[in-house]
Chains A and B, each alone.
Chain A
Amino acid sequence: MDNLGLLADGFGAVLTPENLLYAAIGVLLGTFVGVLPGIGPAMAVALLLPVTYGLDPISAFIMFAGIYYGGMYGGSTTAILLNTPGESASVMTALEGNLMARAGRAAQALATAAIGSFIAGTIGTILVVFFAPALASVAVEIGAPSYFALMVLAMVMVTSVLGGSWLRGFIALFLGLTIGLVGLDINTGQPRLSFDQPLLADRIDVVVVAVAIFALGEALWVAAHLRRSPAHVIPVGRPWMSGADLKRSWGPWLRGTAFGFPFGALPAGGAEIPTFLSYVTEKRLAARKGHDEFGRGAIEGVAGPEAANNASAAGTFVPLLALGLPVTATSAVMLAALQGYGMEPGPGLMTDQPELVWALIASLLVGNVLLLVLNLPLAPLWAKLLRLPRPQLYAGILFFATLGAFATNLQAFDLFLLLLLGLLGLMMRRFALPVLPLILGVILGPLMEYRLREAMAISGGEVSALWSEPLAVVIYVIVAIAVVTPLVVRRVRPAPAAVAYDEGLDLTADDEEKVR
């Protein structure tokens, strides 16, 4: 087991008292920001990224791993105690989790979420140890055309399959691709879309884009629709579980992990599908066993989806490290972060910078342990954060967003970009444009162009080179199926969906009437 030996070396590099301190600070900061209402993990990571600048790569990784897991756990705390998931992946956790909290079992819900996250995250990360190098060694062989095809696949999947409206998804994607165009052309060095601004020719920093779209856009959107009545927060004691709870949780944890990891590891990933599958499975199993508590706060409904969510998050490291392909908003921000630490994710990464990769994976495992150790006792404290008065909370988010965007390059111009892109983020929320395709477009666009030009340069301008590799052809077939299937399904039986949609609209209209 060569990989395990390398991982041991990674632990050797990571496990110093100083690094453990950074990891602890990372977990605390990540949870702190992640718990804040309205902030999902992607936003937490983007906001806290500048804090890790100025550290050497290994210390930065371990702090970053802490922030990452802390942000994820913080998100599920908000979901359980406020019934308001910070991101689509914790929707399923919120369902039963909040019911449990209302039934006075908040402590058990938080405990099963924390332990489930820990188990799924650990198993998932260990699977990354085996899968990422294997995939990378295959990936070294694949050429630019297949790479180009893979990026098309990731974009199409994220845009049309996972989102609600394909038109809105593609609008967001192409806005992102346009932002990705800004800056010097890679081959000829001419500025594109730069309006004669040297600072724009330098390319727009992905961190600025992420902070603007996630944090600023969200804060401005909330400002336009601020709920004036305070949200109801359920008080919580120290998380704990009885033996009976544990007995009911371990099955869902493991099954959730099994659902989550493969979806995360696929270029079509995301946590929405596995968390949903896990929820449905646990509900069926509970019904079959005859003690179906679903709808009244079933611990299985928290344990399963929460494990699926974390296992999928760990799984996203496989395509991220081995192919340089981010598939979720969080991993898109992560890719930007890794590049900031001087890592170039892709097939060459495992052979070029093995010590960094293994240190990162070891950091993830250490961060996961620290998360469990620190957050079980601290949960009541985090719950208090949910009571922060909203004006100060969002003022604080704006403060940290500005600080984060400014600290990256110390340019006032970046703040101007932040504001401009923040307004774009506001507009996207107003028109219900999904955020993830945009971020993916910004990051993948330049990579895609690079691969396209590489493929064309090799073939001497022969366009057919794009489908000259068998793998590329297979991927394009998958893309075609993914695009065509929903269209056909819609055409063959348009009635039920349309009726349900209309009824839904009617309902909200009625609700609005009642409120007035």
Chain B
Amino acid sequence: MSTTLDTREADQAPGHDRDLAQLGLAALLVVVGAYTVYDASTLRVGFGDPVGPRVFPYIIGTVTGLLGVLLVLATLRGDVPQAEGGEDVDLRQPADWLTVLKLVGVLLFTVLTISTLGWAVNGALLFVGAAWSLGSRTLLRDVIVGLVLSVASWYFFHEGLGVILPAGILDGVL
């Protein structure tokens, strides 16, 4: 992920613009393909199984790597992705990766603390944090909405579906 999306504005002549960030994707494909092949080579082949556990990953890994190489060629020939628009997507603005980073931070926080804080707290924090990152400045309202959502969903799963989400620090309170 990089900010090379902005380079698109520089090009005028069609056919000559390149999306060099695609090379990063191509590199990723080659690495994933190579690792898949390596990983498969460490497997032991069983008896009475003519295909064995290796063949499928060998094929998939090799093709993935090849696709990476093809993507390099396509990129250098000026192949650019035609990103899809959407109701809330405005592709004319340069990408705002900072907001994405904030959201990833909020989600990472959830991953790391869900076992200790519990769903009711984490869910509310997730909602408030995500809304704040996306530009909401109605903090009090977001906190109330987040708390209602998370506590209600905890009870809904607990009572209605028999799924016990972790209560965390609110154990005994809920």
Q: Report yes or no: A226 in contact with B131, Cβ–Cβ below 8 A.
A: no
A contact residues vs B (CB 8 Å cutoff): 37-38, 50-51, 53-55, 78, 82, 84, 86, 164-165, 167-168, 170-171, 174-175, 177-178, 181, 185, 187-188, 190, 192-193, 218-228, 231, 389-392, 394-396, 398-399, 402-403, 406-407, 410, 412, 415-416, 418-419, 422-423, 426-427, 429-433, 445, 449, 452-453, 456-457, 459-461, 502, 505-506, 509, 511-512, 515-516
Query: A residues within 8 A CB of B126?
Result: 395, 398-399, 402
CA distance A177 to B40 in the complex (A): 14
CB-contact partner of B67 in A174, A225, A227, A426, under 8 A = A174
- State how many angstroms separate the Cβ of B129 from the closest Cβ of chain A: 8
User: Can you list 10 A-B contacts (CB < 8 A)?
Assistant: A51-B161, A54-B161, A174-B67, A187-B46, A223-B96, A226-B135, A398-B103, A399-B123, A449-B56, A515-B92
Q: Report yes or no: B97 in contact with A167, Cβ–Cβ below 8 A.
A: no
- State how many angstroms separate the Cβ of B90 from the closest Cβ of chain A: 4
Query: B residues within 8 A CB of A456?
Result: 50-51
Q: Report yes or no: A224 in contact with B114, Cβ–Cβ below 8 A.
A: no
CB-contact partner of A167 in B49, B71, B111, B123, under 8 A = B71
CB-contact partner of B108 in A38, A220, A399, A419, under 8 A = A419
Decide yes or no: A181 and B57 within 8 Å by CB, A187-B49, A223-B99 being known contacts. yes
Most buried by A among B134, B163, B165: B134
Q: Report yes or no: B50 in contact with A460, Cβ–Cβ below 8 A.
A: yes
CA distance A192 to B134 in the complex (A): 38
CA distance A406 to B154 in the complex (A): 12
Decide yes or no: A223 and B103 within 8 Å by CB, A188-B53, A399-B127, A427-B1 being known contacts. yes
Q: Report yes or no: B64 in contact with A174, Cβ–Cβ below 8 A.
A: yes
Q: By the criterion of a CB under 8 Å from any partner CB, how many residues of chain B are at the interface? A: 92
CA distance A454 to B92 in the complex (A): 51
B contact residues vs A (CB 8 Å cutoff): 1, 5, 9, 11-12, 14-15, 21-22, 25, 29, 32, 35-36, 39-40, 43-46, 48-53, 55-57, 60-61, 63-64, 67, 70-71, 74, 79, 81-84, 86-93, 95-97, 99-100, 103-104, 106-108, 110-112, 114-115, 119, 123, 126-136, 142, 145-146, 149-150, 153, 157, 160-166
Query: A residues within 8 A CB of B81?
Result: 168, 430-433
Q: Report yes or no: A192 in contact with B87, Cβ–Cβ below 8 A.
A: no
CA distance A459 to B44 in the complex (A): 22
Which label, helix, strand, loop or mixed, suits the secondary structure of the A interface? helix
Query: A residues within 8 A CB of B160?
Result: 54
Q: Report yes or no: A55 in contact with B92, Cβ–Cβ below 8 A.
A: no
- State how many angstroms separate the Cβ of A78 from the closest Cβ of chain B: 7
Q: Report yes or no: B67 in contact with A167, Cβ–Cβ below 8 A.
A: yes
- State how many angstroms separate the Cβ of B163 from the closest Cβ of chain A: 5
CA distance A224 to B5 in the complex (A): 11
- State how many angstroms separate the Cβ of B27 from the closest Cβ of chain A: 12
Contacts between the two chains (Cβ within 8 Å), count: 246
CB-contact partner of A171 in B29, B45, B90, B153, under 8 A = B29
Decide yes or no: A396 and B127 within 8 Å by CB, A406-B165, A423-B104 being known contacts. yes
CB-contact partner of B100 in A171, A223, A391, under 8 A = A223
Q: Report yes or no: A415 in contact with B90, Cβ–Cβ below 8 A.
A: no
CA distance A113 to B54 in the complex (A): 50
CA distance A26 to B128 in the complex (A): 27
Q: Report yes or no: B56 in contact with A181, Cβ–Cβ below 8 A.
A: yes
Query: B residues within 8 A CB of A188?
Result: 43-46, 49, 52-53
CA distance A193 to B32 in the complex (A): 10
CA distance A170 to B55 in the complex (A): 19
- Contacts A165-B79, A406-B119 aside, 9 further interface pairs with beta carbons under 8 A come to A167-B74, A192-B53, A224-B97, A225-B90, A227-B90, A396-B149, A410-B164, A427-B25, A506-B14
Q: Report yes or no: B88 in contact with A227, Cβ–Cβ below 8 A.
A: yes
CB-contact partner of A220 in B5, B100, B131, under 8 A = B100
- State how many angstroms separate the Cβ of B106 from the closest Cβ of chain A: 8
Most buried by B among A389, A402, A453, A456: A402
Query: A residues within 8 A CB of B52?
Result: 187-188
- State how many angstroms separate the Cβ of B121 from the closest Cβ of chain A: 13
Q: Report yes or no: A84 in contact with B86, Cβ–Cβ below 8 A.
A: yes
Q: Report yes or no: B127 in contact with A432, Cβ–Cβ below 8 A.
A: no
CB-contact partner of B107 in A396, A419, A445, A515, under 8 A = A419
Q: Report yes or no: A391 in contact with B131, Cβ–Cβ below 8 A.
A: yes
Q: Report yes or no: A231 in contact with B88, Cβ–Cβ below 8 A.
A: yes
CA distance A429 to B86 in the complex (A): 11
Name the CB-closest residue of A to B103.
A223
Decide yes or no: A432 and B84 within 8 Å by CB, A225-B95, A225-B96 being known contacts. yes
Q: Report yes or no: A402 in contact with B90, Cβ–Cβ below 8 A.
A: no
CA distance A453 to B111 in the complex (A): 38
Q: Report yes or no: A502 in contact with B110, Cβ–Cβ below 8 A.
A: no
Decide yes or no: A82 and B87 within 8 Å by CB, A223-B134, A394-B134, A395-B131 being known contacts. yes
Q: Report yes or no: A178 in contact with B90, Cβ–Cβ below 8 A.
A: no
CA distance A410 to B64 in the complex (A): 32
Q: Which 9 A-B pairs have the closest CB atoms?
A: A461-B50, A84-B87, A432-B81, A391-B136, A391-B134, A395-B130, A54-B161, A395-B131, A185-B53
Query: B residues within 8 A CB of A407?
Result: 157, 163, 165
Name the CB-closest residue of B to A190.
B43
Decide yes or no: A426 and B130 within 8 Å by CB, A167-B74, A228-B90, A395-B136 being known contacts. no
Query: A residues within 8 A CB of B36?
Result: 178, 181, 193
Q: Report yes or no: A403 in contact with B123, Cβ–Cβ below 8 A.
A: yes
CA distance A228 to B90 in the complex (A): 8
Q: Report yes or no: A37 in contact with B119, Cβ–Cβ below 8 A.
A: no
- State how many angstroms separate the Cβ of B54 from the closest Cβ of chain A: 9
Q: Report yes or no: B50 in contact with A390, Cβ–Cβ below 8 A.
A: no
Decide yes or no: A177 and B60 within 8 Å by CB, A395-B127, A396-B127, A407-B157 being known contacts. yes
CB-contact partner of B44 in A78, A171, A190, A419, under 8 A = A190
